[in-house]
Structure 1
Amino acid sequence: MPPSPPPMPAGPPSAPPDAWRAAAVALLNLSGLGLGYALLRRWVAMAGCLVATGLLLLVALPADADGVPGAALVGYAVLLLSAAGHGAVAGLRTRLTWPGRAPLALLLGVLLLAVPAGSALWYQDAHDEAVEQALLDRLDKADRLVAAGGERPFTAAESDYRSALEVYRDLAEHHAGSRAARKVPDSLRTYYTTVGAAYGHQDWCTAVEPLKYLRTMPDSLPKEQLGSLARWPDDRLATSLYECGEQGLAAGEADWVTRFGDLLDTFPDSGPATKVAPAVDAAVQKAEKAVRGDEPCAAVEQLRSLNTRIGDLSKSSGDTGGTLTKAAGRAGRSGDAGEYACGVSQYKDGDFDAARKTMEQFVSDNKNDKNQGRAKKIAIAAEVAQTLPAAGKKLPTTASGGSISVTVKNDSPDDITVLYTGPVTGSFTLKGCGGCKAYSLADTLLTGFKPCHGNRDYPQRTISLPVGTTYFVHKPNGSSTATPASDTAKLRPGYIYTECAYTTRTLGSGY
């Protein structure tokens, strides 16, 4: 039998130690492709390197803004270093299948290091671009929030405006070198014009709050990002505060004081601030003119409101020139003087109770006014007309006296005030009659009942009145529950008339 061939060796025969060969295997394994193991014919280890590299590519590609998870990078780096170390140990005594010389393999390993290095550089560029696109997408979403907010009222859109502003701030502060950050100034200009759009539409009152909000922007963004925008709202807000206040002043609304107050406090040296005093003065003049118009009472009320509100504005704004204080004083004086025209209007409209109160107040407030005498007469006539409406058909004059004597006697234990109006108007008081008493209702119903009859010395007063109809009202003094008595006397020449006041459950009269 022929001899059997010798068994095949399990692997390449051991070779003398060679550091260059070990370094070459290590460098080839660092490529991530396991090429060092290929030259040693260690196919399983090579496959492990390829699988690890493939898994890393699956995780990393396509490149996005989040990048590769740190754990994956650390794991892969540990694997490459382990493969390099293990390959170096294995290659120290194992011959290479190719190339035959270790220096050539070492050179090949160095050249192949360009693969992972180039891949890393390419991936970094792709990742950077992905980050840029993500930042641009954030900017675009913020811009769309602003655009959508411009279609809604400011209060409804404010939260979206703040969200967009936070994106702009983050891009400017934390991504300053990005393309998105370079676009932030343009987005901010659009932001300002959108938030402050009501100003462009001359919707002054609506523009105030958005413009106030925009003035807070320097607290939220770097100054270099804002530039001239930091002062953009100032003139617009000053103008809006004035125009809104002027509109409220003209309409008789209350918030004009707040608007003008904000203007004078925030922009005291601005052009709009200089127009506040003239606007207030013009409003006073307009109300003064309206006192002579069809609605004098409304004008008086407006003047008194102006007096109070201008005074409040003067105190809150530091009225150094005193112009507001002067305007407030004139409004108050004109309001007091205008009470006369208001009372006349109320009298003509048949609102006698209001006319009496207004004229009494006018007399009290204007001691030296030329209309005080007639105002007293109108107050008396208005009180008479409250009991006898026919007495209020004509405004009383300041005339006095007449050719007919009328004596008024008081057959009552109470002091009484006698009011009369007609061709002349006046009033006087009679003291109570000592020893007189109130009549019972039954007494007044008896045939022949006649008060002020007999030899008693009744308190009395004689007045002279013209021919015509005079209306009398007798009211007890000091009683808020007694009902005034009344009488209508048609006075004719050649007669002497007597009025008698007496007391029953209510006050009666006769002549």
Structure 2
Amino acid sequence: MFPPSSRSSPPFPPLPPSPPPGGEGGKGGKGGEDREDGGNTEPAAEGGRGRALSAAALNLSGLAVGYLYLRRWRRFAVGLGGILVLIAFAVGTEAPGGAAVWGPLFLLCVAVMVADARRLGRTGPDPRPVWLPPAAAAVLLALVAFGYLWYSGLPEREMGRADRAHAAGDCESAVEHYEAAVSPRHALAFHSLREVSALGVTSCEVMIRAEATAARGAHGEAADGYRDYLDLHAGRPPWTGAEDRLVELRAAHADDLTGKVREAAEVMRGTDNLDAGLVTEAFDARVVLRGEHPDTDAAAGVPAGLDDLYDAATPAVGSAEHCAAVGQLWAVTVLPGNTGLPDEWVEGDAERLADRAREPLPAELRDCAIDRYGAGDIRGALDRLAELVSEFPDSGPADDAPETLEGFRSDLHDSLDGEAACEVFDDLEALTDLPSALEGGGFARIPDRATDSLGEAWFQCGLGAYEAGDHSRAGEHLERLLEEQPDHRRADRAEEILIAIEIERITESGTNELPPPSVSGSGPAGTASVTIINDSDQPLEILYTGPRTGKSSLAASGSSGGRCLSQQGKPTVTLSLPPGSYQVVARASGGGFVTPYHGTWDLRGGTSYGDCYYITDAFSDLIEP
């Protein structure tokens, strides 16, 4: 038996010192890592596989979070910065090439970061707890995926807003959303909405411009814009009210044109013609409503609108402005030939309006001719009568046209009094040469009567000028009468006035004195008989004016003449004149420089007078023995 206190166990040998964490050979701290902070860079012992997978999984999100896990700050900044730069570049360039280019590029960047994180994560201890890094990686990946899904849906959502605004007719808002849908910030959504957006923007801008144009009152241009809008959508636009708006604008345009026709017609005066093209344009604008929008109220109102157009175009019909009425009615009568619309659209309305215009036109043409004559435009009057007879030969006014024309001539003839006759030469000459439409038939007698009246006008004008002392002008018109109408009843009187004018002209230019004739005996009671003998080698002309005016010629007496020593067989003339005072001129009419002789003869009734005249040579005066 051993005593308890006398025996003891030998002591345990001492334990070797533990290696410092994370290294071997007594090296502690962070040995084995490739440190980026300037610390020990010696390789450490291999860590767990979980750390590498955790870092790789965290980088799978593309956010470089695995580098944060590994505490590789520079790599985190470079990785995340590179991804952001790539995103910014893709957005800035609107991702040319689309998903086929940028999808693999982003995946490649992520793959590089995943592989790099996995490599770096092989050093160091496994994570505690083990599930935390993969869970965080899954959450990040889910957030990135859901974020991208939300982002990729942005263009479609903007497009939906645009379509709803467009369908409501709010194109201003729709354009904003259409443009937002294809904004560069949505480039990485890799959508296919560009063509749809471009169509929406284009059509909406057309509508906006059309409405702005309509606000200025240019309804026709606005209607063209809406027509383009409908064509862009093949007749099925997002805004279903476009068709109704087009009809509304076209109806307003037709009203505008009718108003323009009314304005143009109301300011017409005299022989102005209404613009037939404007009337046709207004007609076509109204009829198009029926042709292109047949089931609308505007189409049903086309006939009434055309009647309003007729009234707008013809305000002068039935008024005192007959020539204006003619110009207005003609513009309506040409509608059937001017409109280019299909017959099934026109439905006979062009002919209906034209027939309505033709009904009052003959009477208006006749009254316009009367108005033009009254205004001093005889040729305008003849043109209107020619139109009347040509276009409406079977009308009552056409039957009365010869009487109307004779009324013009008769009125002109009645106005032939002195100087007033000088103003109607052109009018009467126009009546002597009528337009071809006014020849023959009841018009045949008018040119002859007008010719006679024209001769009377020349005479009256010449007489008035003579009495006013304008002998030059008087001679011009009287001589024209004798030249063109020598058989006119006024021809003899015109010749007498011309003789008196010639006597006065000769007297004023200087003459020698012609003594009164010698009394040779008695003669018939109430008559003065004057016998004149020419015994010169030049023919003589005796001009006289007084109770009677006339002239007489005597042939030359032989080759040399004599001195009235033998008067037998000499050229002789005997004048039987009413008694009274006469101005007489005797002049040589065969040439040479013989000064005429002038004298005043007081002839008594029942008395005979006689004298013989001769010339000593061509430069001598006419002398009386």
Per the shorter chain, which TM-score range?
0.5 to 0.7
**Aligned partners of 2:533 and 2:613 also within 8 Å:** yes
Instruction: Please state if 1:316 is matched with 2:432.
Output: no
- Greater CA drift, 483-492 or 256-265: 483-492
Tell me whether 1:196 sits opposite 2:319 in the alignment.
Answer: no
Equivalence for 2:304: 186
Deviates more, 1:409-418 or 1:176-185: 176-185
**1:475 matches 2:554:** no
Q: Which residue of 2 aligns with 1:365?
A: 487
For residues 465 and 150 of structure 2, the distance between their equivalents in structure 1, rounded to whole angstroms, comes to: 115
Hey, what does 1:101 align to over in structure 2?
none
Contact 1:432–1:459 (CA under 8 A) maintained in structure 2: yes
Query: What SS does the corresponding residue of 2:393 show, helix, strand or coil?
Result: coil
Segment drifting more, 212-221 vs 422-431? 422-431
- Seen in structure 2, the aligned counterparts of structure 1 residues 383 and 277 have a Cα distance that, compared at 3 Å, is same
Are residue 51 (structure 1) and residue 158 (structure 2) matched?
yes
Query: Which stretch shifts more, 336-345 or 459-468?
Result: 336-345
Whether 1:281 aligns to 2:406 is: yes
Secondary structure at 2:486's aligned position in 1?
helix
1:268 alignment partner, one of 393, 415, 424: 393
Deviates more, 1:331-340 or 1:181-190: 331-340
Aligned residue type for 1:316:
A
1:421 aligned onto 2:533: no
Quote the residue 1:167 is aligned against.
285
Q: Using the TM superposition, give the Cα deviation of residue 285 of structure 1 relative to its aligned residue in structure 2, in angstroms.
A: 3.2
Distance verdict in 2 for CA 1:374–1:203, change over 3 Å: closer
Paired residue for 1:128? 243
Instruction: Look up the SS of the partner of 2:244 in the other structure.
Output: helix
Other-structure match for 2:97: none
Partner of residue 257, structure 2: 142
> Which one of the candidate residues 285, 310, 323 is aligned to 1:205?
323
Spell out, residue by residue over 1:407-439, the C-alpha distance to the aligned partner (whole angstroms, 9 max, x if none). 4343542212222232344433222233548xx
For the residues of structure 2 that align with 1:223 and 1:56, how far apart are their CA atoms? 39
Amino acid of the structure 1 residue aligned with 2:611: T
Cα distance, 1:265 vs. partner? 0.9
SS at match of 1:197: coil
Residue type matched to 2:391 in 1? T
CA distance in structure 1 between the aligned counterparts of 2:457 and 2:157, rounded to whole angstroms:
102
Q: CA deviation at 1:498?
A: 2.9
Mapped to 2, the partners of 1:178 and 1:373 lie a distance apart of 82
Distance 2:248 2:263 in 1: 22
**Length-normalised TM-score, structure 1:** 0.62
- For 2:532, what is the secondary structure of its paired residue? strand
- 1:238 equivalent in alignment to 2:362: yes
Q: Take 2:279 and 2:169, find their aligned partners in 1: how far apart are those partners?
A: 34
Deviations 1:376-432 (A, max 9, x none): 65554454344358xxxxxxxxxx986655443435422122222323444332222
Matching of residues 17-416 of structure 1 within 5 Å: 43=150, 47-62=154-169, 124-150=239-265, 152-153=267-268, 161=279, 164-218=282-336, 219-220=338-339, 222-224=345-347, 225-226=349-350, 228-250=352-374, 251=376, 253-290=378-415, 297-298=421-422, 301=425, 304-305=428-429, 307-309=431-433, 312-313=434-435, 315-317=436-438, 319=440, 322-333=441-452, 335=454, 348-350=467-469, 351=471, 353-354=475-476, 357=479, 360=482, 364-366=486-488, 380-388=499-507, 406-410=530-534, 412-416=536-540
Kindly indicate whether the alpha-carbon contact (under 8 Å) linking 1:474 and 1:484 is maintained by their aligned counterparts in 2.
Answer: yes
Q: 1:257, 1:416 → 2: CA distance?
A: 51
Deviations 1:132-177 (A, max 9, x none): 3433443444344345434544669777656544533543433344
- Post-superposition CA distance 1:451-493 (Å, at most 9, x none): 9465687644454556542222223335599765433223469
State the one-letter code of the partner of 1:489.
W
Paired residue type of 2:247: E
Alignment-mate amino acid for residue 356 of structure 2: W
Rounded to whole Å, the distance in 1 between the matches of 2:264 and 2:424 is 45
What RMSD over aligned residues (CA atoms) do the two structures have, in Å? 5.1
Residue by residue over 1:73-115, the C-alpha shift from the partner in whole angstroms, topping out at 9 and shown as x without a partner, is x966999xxxxxxxxxxxxxxxxxxxxxxxxxxxxxxxxxxxx
Q: Would you say how many aligned residue pairs link Structure 1 and Structure 2?
A: 413
Match for residue 490 of structure 1?
Answer: 602
SS of aligned partner of 1:248: helix
How many Å apart are 1:296 and its aligned residue? 8.1
- Asked if structure 2 preserves the Cα contact closer than 8 Å seen for 1:290 and 1:299, the reply is no
Question: Which amino acid in the other structure matches residue 168 of structure 1?
Answer: R
Q: Distance in 1 between matches of 2:346 and 2:600?
A: 86
SS state at 1:365 partner: coil
For CA contacts below 8 A with separation 6 or more, give which structure has more relative contact order: 1
Supply the distance in 1 between the matched residues of 2:572 and 2:506 (Cα, whole angstroms): 23
Matches within 5 A, 1:412-451: 412-434=536-558, 436=560
2:154 and 2:389 map into 1 onto residues whose CA distance is 81
**TM-score, L = length of structure 2:** 0.52
Q: CA deviation at 1:253?
A: 2.1
Shift of 1:261: 0.7
C-alpha distance 157-273 of structure 1, shift in aligned 2 (>3 A): closer
Deviation at 1:202, TM superposition (A): 2.5
Q: Residue 409 of structure 1 contacts residue 459 of structure 1 at CA under 8 Å; is this kept in 2?
A: yes
For 1:408, what is the secondary structure of its paired residue?
A: strand
Say whether the 8 Å CA contact 2:273–2:324 is kept in structure 1: no
Cα pair distance change 1:124/1:419, threshold 3 Å = same
Shift of 1:323: 0.9
**Residue 285 of structure 1 aligns to which amino acid in structure 2?**
S
Question: What are the Cα deviations for residues 278-300 of structure 1, in whole angstroms up to 9, with x where unaligned?
Answer: 21122333344445x55684598
The whole-number CA distance in structure 2 between the counterparts of 1:78 and 1:288 is 85
1:262 Cα deviation from its structure 2 partner: 0.9
Q: Could you say which residue in structure 2 is the equivalent of 1:500?
A: 613
Task: Provide the C-alpha distance between the structure 1 equivalents of 2:254 and 2:604, rounded to a whole number of angstroms.
Answer: 98
CA gap of 1:140–1:259, structure 2 versus 1, over 3 A, is closer
Asked whether the equivalents of residues 401 and 464 of structure 1 are also in contact (C-alpha less than 8 Å), the reply is no
- Contact in 1 for aligned 2:335/2:351 (Cα 8 Å): no
Gaps of 5+ in 2: 1-127, 140-144, 182-190, 197-235, 509-523
Distance 2:547 2:255 in 1: 86
Residues of 2 paired with 1:173 and 1:470: CA distance? 92
Flag the 1:465–1:43 CA change in 2: closer, same or farther, 3 A.
Answer: closer
Q: Distance in 1 between matches of 2:354 and 2:597?
A: 77
Structure 1, unpaired ranges of 5+:
12-36, 80-120, 390-399, 438-450
Distance across 2 between alignment mates of 1:382 and 1:428? 16
